[in-house]
Amino acid sequence: MAAPRDGCSNTIFNYLCVQILKSSTMKTFLKYIISTALLAMLFVPTTVDAQRMPKKHKNAPDYTIVIVTNPLVENFDASEYPHLRFYYTPEEMPHFLDVLHQVRPIPPKEGMYGMVIDKAGTIAYTRAFSDAISRNQDNRDETNFHMLNVAAPKGRGDSRKLEDFLKDYVIRAKAAKKDNKKSYTPGQVPSYRGWDKGQIEGLELPDFDLVAQDGTETTIKEVLGGNPGYIVFTQISEDGKTVSPLLWHIEHILYNYFPPRR
């Protein structure tokens, strides 16, 4: 007579019951894994996008002052650079900039001239930048942070990189070391040691006239308003179409880590 199978007492039947339970548990587990994976797929892109949202560099000033060393170009579209404020030199170049240009091109050919000013108006950092820094105008320029890593010229005291100067004198508003031996008198060419080499670090930036993009007359002192700042000198063609690629570089390296791809 066959052995009874009540309660899965039969060995074979009991084995089958266990396998059925395992199979059911495995299906439930697989469903859980699949559901979790689908949820992750929904949330991960959002998280990645949030991390890749355009953002201002931690040591960038609220905006960069751009001084165009040629008369106002009304056709120039400044809206492409929302974090850059454009000012132009008058028809007659301010004397200080004129004599400085004779010993230190501002800007250099195919480049730009940068200057960090502390809260008291003292020049803390100067450096010429080549347009080649932003030759790609894409993610290669965007992630290299070339301009921020460029150091001050050797032999001029503090030769740290630009980012360090921005952090100390713009973000933290520290006072730069003023050189009392360096001075400028309006209408006169400075004669202090090092002027002929364009060494103006430690000099208080003289005031000079400017014209805003909207045609309003102002001065560099009014533009700074007693605050530290980052100033770059450049030129723009008369039709407003030819500009230094470093304008793109500054807008995206300092203020927009992830610009739209071109």
Structure tokens of 38? 């689908």
**pLDDT for res 41:** 59
Q: Which tens digits make up the pLDDT trace of 192-223?
A: 999 999 999 999 999 999 999 999 999 999 99
What values do phi and psi take at 219, rounded to 5? -135, 165
The pTM is what?
Answer: 0.76
Q: Which residues contact 231 (CB under 8 A, 6 or more apart)?
A: 64, 65, 66, 67, 114, 115, 116, 117, 220
Smallest CA-to-CA distance from 136 within 244, 245, 215 is with 245
How far CA 63 is from CA of 81, 86, 223, in Å, comes to: 10, 10, 11
Instruction: Please tell me the predicted confidence (pLDDT) of residue 152.
Output: 66
CB 59 within 8 A of CB 147: no
Question: Which tens digit of pLDDT belongs to each residue from 33-84?
Answer: 566 566 555 554 444 444 456 678 889 999 999 999 999 999 999 999 999 9
Number of neighbours of residue 180 by Cβ within 10 angstroms: 8
CA dist., res. 80 & res. 112, Å (int)? 18
Assess whether the previous peptide bond of 107 is cis (omega < 30° from 0): yes
Of 257, 233, 228, the C-alpha closest to 247 is 233
How sure is the predictor about 262, in pLDDT bands with cuts at 50, 70 and 90?
very low
Q: What pLDDT does 258 receive? A: 54
Q: How far apart are CA 183 and CA 178, in angstroms?
A: 10
